[in-house]
Amino acid sequence: MPTIVDIAVSNEGFSTLVAAVQAAGLVEALQSPGPFTVFAPNDAAFAKLPPGTVQTLVQNPPQLARILTFHVAAGKYTKDELIKLGTVASLEGAPIPIDGTEGFEVKNATVIAADIEADNGIIHVLDNVILMG
């Protein structure tokens, strides 16, 4: 079974995420055994950010890494498990709120594809980039 990184690299909809993970130096970490739960913004989610934001972040790897690790939780959590928990701690340290009352939402994003199994975890695809605070 492919790793989280393998799945992202092989999916055209994650080219911005893959470039960001590479720029932040997180590829090796996300290829490790984990397991991880990754809330993966697709390219359309990154496109919603103000113009120049992605470029600015790529030029600031520590800030980029902080934002990306806010999209990852230690452990493998399915949609149903996350909704029961109501919140999960990100690798960045801040809690990520989960809401299952109307669909499946993670902070300010809607999950558009849930429970994508990987060798070292699980991926939930988001329609927005989520930010701390």
Select 4-126's CATH number: 3.40.47.10, 2.30.180.10, 3.40.50.300, 2.40.50.180.
2.30.180.10
Query: What is the model's pLDDT at position 86?
Result: 97
Beta-carbon contacts of residue 63 (< 8 Å; ≥ 6 apart): 57
Query: Would you say residue 52 has pLDDT above 90?
Result: yes
Q: Among residues 81, 80, 79, 65, which one has the least CA distance to residue 30?
A: 65
For residue range 66-123, what is the model confidence (pLDDT) as tens digits? 999 999 999 999 999 999 999 999 999 999 999 999 999 999 999 999 999 999 999 9
pLDDT bucket at 133, cuts 50 / 70 / 90: confident
Radius of gyration of the chain (CA): 13
